[in-house]
Amino acid sequence: MRPSRICDRAFSPLVASVELAATVEQSFRDRKYNTGSMSLNLTTDLPDNSTVAQASSGIYIFAAIVLGFIGFFGFILNLLVILTVVKNANVLWTPNNVVLVNMAIGDLLVAVLGNPIAMVSAIAGMWYWSYNMCQWYAWFMTTMGFASIGNLTVMAFERFLLVIHPMRTLSIKHAYILTFLIWIYALSLSLPPFFNWGKYGWEACNISCSVSWEQHDPEMHNDTYIGFLFIFGFFAPVMIIISSYYSIIRTLRNISRRVRRNNKRETKITKMVLLMIIAFLIAWMPYAVLALAIQYFYVEISSNVVSVLPALLAKSSICYNPVIYTSLNIQFFHAWKKMFFGNVENPKKSNKDSTKMITVNKIEMKTLNCM
């Protein structure tokens, strides 16, 4: 290597990053990685992915800044949620909060392991890492995304049981089992591309990697895999959520005002879960609709902004839930105040009062069901 080249790299790290990314990209075009006879497919031919449109430097700078903010606030807020529950476990360790913590852990992992990788690529102006890293990143983010919607579905079902069948509410043990099944569910949706069903590749102007929505490869059966994802990873959970909340709203309209007044805490938690679901759908709906349009309706993206913004909006979903927790869950609010400002009203007392309210609610709702 010439001395001038060494100097360039020493004093121009950004140039070096771009050169490295270009070298890696060229190597992807020249090589095809395969593990052999077993179909654990880590990579495939990349001509289509390698032609993903490059954006202007302004878009990459904007994406890097947004990803930095998402990663920072996602890390801080979700870590606070986990610490709050652990520190006040005698009060906050309820079945609903077990699922909340499971979701916060997933969002925290995205903030720590996912966002920095995409942010570095945005700074470099293209995918900075190896193609195997692209495969790992796509699998990781896909798993976390489906785990999130799995958590929200379980939370909606827990609210359904509490309101419709108050004598069959989930126990802590049930919550543990369901959180384990959530991860099995997410893995069952994210692992098929490693076994030659579907494909992972670059997206969003080469800033990040995900399912190759734009690929129409008959050999990889990408169309059937994406259909599988939309049916079991999006439509089915959303239908369960809608059905659960339809039943909840219909039941709440039929019960007396006195029951609703005595059970304000549970009503707030039900609203909290609904708001979390709405926020998640707002964050992910543009991305899902765009992916569906690209795969099945052959829609071509003419604007780099349209390519990047839905992916950034989807990634921002890790920041919403902690804000919603503390806004609508009085126990979280008191626990956070205690952590930052010292002695405040004891959340344990509030929990005892809420327990009495729930007992009254169960008795009255049981009477209602017998009518």
CATH number of the domain enclosing 310: 1.20.1070.10
Does some domain include residue 120?
yes
The whole-angstrom separation of Cα 349 and Cα 343 is 13
Instruction: Give the model's confidence band at 38: pLDDT under 50 very low, under 70 low, under 90 confident, else very high.
Output: very low
Is residue 30 situated within a structural domain? no
pLDDT in tens, 344-367: 455 444 454 444 444 434 444 443
pLDDT band at 215 (very low <50, low <70, confident <90, very high): confident
- What the block records as the tokens of 183 is 């991860």
What is the C-alpha separation between 317 and 147, in angstroms, rounded?
A: 13
What is the model's pLDDT at position 16? 43
Model confidence pLDDT, tens digit, residues 153-163: 999 999 999 88
- N-term to C-term CA, the chain: 86
What per-residue confidence (pLDDT) applies to 49?
Answer: 44
Torsion region of 198: left, alpha or beta (phi above 0 gives left; psi -120 to 50 gives alpha): left
Q: How far is CA 254 from CA 160, 242, 247, 272, 354, in A?
A: 15, 19, 11, 21, 22
**Cα–Cα distance between 15 and 263 in angstroms, integer?**
61
Contact 240, 216 (CB under 8 A): no
The mean predicted confidence, pLDDT, of the chain is 80
**Identity of the residue numbered 283:** A
CA atoms of 367 and 371, how far apart (whole Å): 7
> What is the number of structural domains in the chain?
1
In a domain, 6, yes or no: no
Tell me if 361 is assigned to some domain: no
Local confidence band at 343 (pLDDT 50, 70, 90 cut-offs)? low
Q: How confident is the model at residue 35 (pLDDT cuts 50, 70, 90)?
A: very low
Nearest to 269 by CA among 173, 333, 203, 223: 333
> Does residue 357 sit within a domain?
no
In this structure, is residue 203 part of a structural domain?
Answer: yes
Q: What is the pTM of this model?
A: 0.77
Query: Could you tell me if residue 21 is inside a domain?
Result: no
274-280 long-range Cβ contacts below 8 angstroms, 24+ apart: 274/156, 274/245, 275/324, 275/328, 276/152, 276/155, 276/320, 276/321, 276/324, 277/152, 277/155, 277/156, 277/241, 277/245, 279/317, 279/320, 279/321, 279/324, 280/148, 280/149, 280/152, 280/317, 280/320
Longest CA pairwise span in the chain (Å): 89
What per-residue confidence (pLDDT) applies to 141? 97
Print the domain residue range for 144: 53-343
| Residues 272-299 pLDDT 10s | 899 999 999 999 999 999 988 888 888 8
351 lies in a domain? no
Q: Phi/psi at 99 (nearest 5 deg)?
A: -70, -35
Neighbours of 365 (CB within 10 A): 21
